Every structure is written in C-alpha cells, then in structure tokens.
Structure 1
Amino acid sequence: MRQQRNTASPGEQEAAILKAAAEEVALVGLARASLDVIARQAGVSRSTLYRRFPSRDALITELGRRTFEFAMQRLSTVAMDSGPKDAAVAAFCEGLRLLTTEPVMRKFLQLDGNIVVEGMYEEAEAFLNLASAGMAKALRAAGATMPDKDLHAVAEIHIRLATSLAQLRTPVLDVTDDDAVRAYARKHLAPLVY
C-alpha cells in the first residue's frame, strides 16, 4: 500500500522521517536500512528526505542522538533521592530494561548480533561512555561520596555489565525478571557505590 504524500511542515516531515527510520532500523538493522523505504513510510520523496538529512550518515546520527536522549530521559526518571546504593540499583534495573526492550537501541549497540556497520563501534562506544558519565553524575547527585575516578569506573562497570547481560543470556540471571534483576544489582553492584 502506497503511503500518502506528506505535505506537512519541514519539522513534521523530519519527525515522520525519524519515526520511519526508527521503524526500519528496528526491523532490519542499521546496515540494511533502506532510505527508499524510510522515505516511502514517511510519505516524502527521496529529495525531501535529503533536504532534511543531507546524507544517510546524517539521518542515522540524528536517530542515534535521539535514541540516546530518550534513554537518558528514561534514566533520569529513576528515583535518585534514596541514596547512592538504591540509585545504583534503580539505574541498573532501568538501564537493563531499556537494553532488552528498545529495538532501535539494541541495533545501535549491536545487541542483536547483526553485521557491524563500519563506524558503528565508535558510535556504540560513544553511547556507552556518555551513559557511564550520565550514571556517574546521577550517582553523585544521589549522594555518592567516592572519588570521581572511582565513581566513573563503577558507573562504567554497571553500563558494560548491563550491555553484556542484554546481549548474552546467562542462567545466572533472568534479565526479564525485574525482581531478580533488582536483587542481583543490590547484592553485586550496590556495594561498589559509596
């Protein structure tokens, strides 16, 4: 079925393109995402797509930026007023939930085992570094008193462990069981934060 032509404002067209790009990336991954399909689903011509995003890289970069902002917004809603240990547990649980349920994020971080797109390692690494820095900042705001270097190391451990658990299932922890994830984080990760 042909999508009706989108005659909305440039901002609305951009939003439609990004929505279609997210759906396409979630469905087929970054490497196989088709600009023709994205344009068709957004109801715009390929030339309109290129007016809004001058290159495929520009579109993918903006999608990645918005995906990261969405994740950070979700993580910022985690209760941080009950102390650094509880904040670490809550952030780990929400982070793992995001990594196991958000399809676009999974594709960006290569958590679905697809062929890695050239340059995507750098984007995944940047995502993980920004997430670690964000978690360290949140833990500091929640009352963590440890030195900055140690706090950043602990935040990175949390992010990398969550990413690993989302990618490689283990009999040690059922990542779909919120209570089990919370107990795991409380026992193994909260003690790292002071």
Structure 2
Amino acid sequence: MKRTSASRSEQETAILKAAAEEVALVGIGRAGMDVIARQAGVSRSTLYRRFPSREALIAELGRQTLEFAFERLQTVSIDDGPQEASVAAFREGVRLLASDPVMRRFLQLDPDFTATADMVDEARQFLVHASKAMAKAMRAAGARMPDADLLAVCELHIRMATSLVQVRTGVLDVDDDDAVARYARMHLAPLVR
C-alpha cells in the first residue's frame, strides 16, 4: 500500500465514498473493510484509525445518508398549502427511496439486509426525525390539526412510501412521478388538515 499525503478529512471522505459504493454493490452485511480500504486508497490501519470499528464506519455512513435525505426533503415547497406540500414530500420521499441504493440498504429495503443494533437505531431515528421534519413543513404550509395527529399522519406518509418502494405491486408504479403524485393526492393528502 502506498502512503498517501491526504489529510485526515480527505481520507475520511474517501473511506466513506468507498463504503457507500461497497454497500450499494453488495449490501451492508457483506461490505468488507479490506475492500473499502483498498477502494479508498488507504491502508487497513489508516481505515481503523479513522473509524475504530466496522460498526462505527457503517453508523457514520448511515448518518450521512440520512442527513442527505433530510436535505432533499427540505426542498419541498410549502407555498401551495399543506395538502400539496404533503404530496410533494411524498413524491420526493418515494423518488429518494426508489433511487438511492445506500438509502435502500439502510432502511432495509433490500432483501439481503443484515441489521446491527446501530443500523436499526439509525432507521428508527430516521423515521422519528423525518416525521418531525415533515410535520414542521406541513405546519409551515398551514396545517391546523393537533401536533400529535399531524405527527402521526406524517409518520404514516413515510411508512407508506417505504412500504410501496419495498414491496412493489401493480397498485402504484413508484418510478412514475405523476402516478406517485396522483396516489398521494388521492389517498394521503386528505389526511392533512
């Protein structure tokens, strides 16, 4: 292995990029630290200096993946009222869940998923934070229902998006943005008041 003069930050970035590629390719349970180190261009010892365990690396990758998802969901417009904002959030969530392979792995949307306690906790935290973020956006868009009810409806939107992407049927083509919007407008938006 060649020594690299990359900074600590550059090494961590390279390691996380390699980990994302490996997780997307083979899944979380089969992602190998040796492969990740090689792909990142760092030695195994450097990888373990930056991330003391495989679980620490996977947890950080999960944190960054979920942070990216929150950033994407924050781009949803709230100008057309709470029901249209819920449609836009649902459509963006389905788009993200259907297209991001690392997100799919972390939220257990792939059949070969092998969870660790940290990953299950990350998925739980994602659901809680995403529900709160969506509820905040719906409130800003004009939703007037009680907080607990709004939070429950937002969690239902997120769980529904996850389920529809995970187990595909003829009911909805999750790859068709217009169909996803129609579905949300008909079945989910009326729940937001």
**Counterpart for residue 11 of structure 2:** 13
**Counterpart for residue 97 of structure 1:** 95
Q: Cα 1:145–1:43, aligned 2, differ >3 Å: closer, same or farther? A: same
Whichever residue aligns with residue 181 of structure 1, its letter is V
Whichever residue aligns with residue 139 of structure 2, its letter is R
Cα separation, 1, equivalents of 2:8 and 2:147? 43
Which deviations, in whole Å up to 9, do the C-alpha atoms of 1:115-137 show, x marking residues without a partner? 43232333322222221111111
SS at match of 1:149: helix
The Cα of 1:5 is off from its aligned counterpart by 5.2
Aligned ranges 1:17-56 → 2 under 5 Å = 17-56=15-54
TM-score between the two structures when normalised by the length of structure 2: 0.95
**Counterpart for residue 169 of structure 1:** 168
Which deviations, in whole Å up to 9, do the C-alpha atoms of 1:71-106 show, x marking residues without a partner? 000111111222111100000000000000000000
Q: Is the 8 A contact 2:105 2:113 kept in 1?
A: no
Provide structure 1 residue ranges, at least 5 long, that are not aligned to the other structure. Answer: none
**Counterpart for residue 178 of structure 1:** 177
CA-based RMSD: 1.3
The Cα of 1:138 is off from its aligned counterpart by 1.3
Q: Is the 8 A contact 1:5 1:44 kept in 2?
A: yes
Provide structure 2 residue ranges, at least 5 long, that are not aligned to the other structure. Answer: none
Cα separation, 2, equivalents of 1:154 and 1:117? 27
